[in-house]
């Protein structure tokens, strides 16, 4: 496997030091970080997300390369597409493809507990950087990645190819997984889901691990879920690890109902509640839990 060489940049050295200090970049992933340069997978025009104030600003590599590389080497998420591609050079309404903050990326990769030669299914290709890191860790032939947006998939495939990584980039609905290539030892999702796809459980070997952001429709926040598939392959269970915030699955977007659906013609005080399928969870400690770490969850296929 060959990857295009990159210039050593002071900002990238600082990023590596910061990730190690946070405990995000572990020894198992050092070589992948050094080889797969995040900047190689970012578009020339991008919108870094300022965590402090929640705003995004356009950065163009051709007009301001110093600022572009500074953001590429920062521990911040970067939006690469708005509104499913229906946008111009200005920030759109809803970010629909991105490159997650490196600390989030490496913590979730570490959650997979990978070993050499394991087969990994990535759901949500995005820029292709995550797939490149996985390919370096377990081998190109052992990584399959699925992307719902054809243009995003084509771009990622091209960048991976130019970096010498012939990763299998497939177009399709990631919530359906990749049944024709199953079973996998590990599965990682790079977008938040609200209804956990049972197909993911079915396509991972018994004892295999699924790492994904999950949440409810009541908030934009997610929690990283680490599940291990049961011995009979029909269910998976595990723990909530940490709070995150990811772009959401396109197929599970919510259109907010109108006022009349909450207060129908029956008059004031009438209330309609709709039940949605979700993960079942229970507290692993006595009493109420204020932290996602205090809960376990289970998904049946």
Rounded CA gap, 132 and 63, in Å?
27
Cα separation, 226 vs 120, in Å, equals 15
Tell me the three-class secondary structure of 157-195, residue by residue. Answer: HHHHHHCCCCCEEEECCHHHCCHHHCCEEEEEECCEECC
Q: Is there a catalytic annotation at residue 100?
A: yes
Task: List CB contacts of 248: < 8 A, sequence separation 6 or more.
Answer: 191, 192, 193, 194, 220
Nearest to 148 by CA among 118, 167, 122: 122
Contacts for 54 with CB less than 8 Å, ≥ 6 apart: none
Catalytic residue among 74, 98, 100, 284: 100
Q: Where are the alpha helices (DSSP H) in 10-64?
A: 10-21, 27-35
Residues annotated as catalytic are 100
């Amino acid at each position: 496997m060959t990857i295009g060489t990159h210039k050593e940049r002071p900002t990238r050295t600082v990023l590596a030091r910061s990730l190690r200090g946070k405990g995000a970049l572990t020894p198992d992933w050092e070589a992948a970080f050094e080889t797969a340069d995040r900047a190689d997978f970012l578009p020339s025009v991008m919108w870094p997300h300022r965590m402090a104030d929640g705003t995004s600003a356009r950065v163009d590599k051709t007009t301001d390369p110093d600022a572009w590389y500074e953001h590429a080497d920062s521990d911040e998420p970067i939006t690469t597409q708005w509104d499913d591609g229906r946008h111009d050079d200005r920030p759109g309404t809803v970010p629909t493809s991105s490159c997650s903050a490196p600390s989030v990326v490496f913590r979730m990769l570490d959650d997979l507990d990978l070993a050499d030669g394991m087969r990994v299914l990535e759901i949500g290709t995005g820029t292709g950087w995550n797939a490149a890191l996985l390919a370096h860790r377990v081998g190109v032939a052992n990584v399959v990645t699925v992307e719902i947006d054809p243009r995003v998939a084509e771009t990622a495939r091209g960048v991976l190819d130019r970096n010498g990584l012939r990763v299998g980039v497939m177009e399709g609905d990631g919530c359906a997984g990749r049944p024709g290539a199953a079973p996998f030892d590990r599965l990682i999702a790079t977008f938040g889901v609200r209804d956990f796809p049972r197909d993911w459980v079915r396509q991972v070997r018994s004892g295999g691990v699924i790492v994904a952001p999950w949440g409810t429709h009541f908030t934009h926040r997610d929690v990283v879920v680490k599940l291990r598939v049961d011995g009979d392959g029909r269910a998976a269970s595990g723990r909530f690890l940490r709070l995150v915030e990811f772009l959401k699955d396109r197929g599970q977007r919510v259109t907010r109902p109108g006022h009349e659906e909450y207060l129908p013609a029956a008059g004031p005080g009438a209330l309609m509640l709709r039940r949605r399928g979700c993960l079942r969870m229970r507290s692993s400690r006595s009493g109420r839990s204020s932290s996602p770490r205090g809960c376990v969850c289970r998904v049946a296929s």
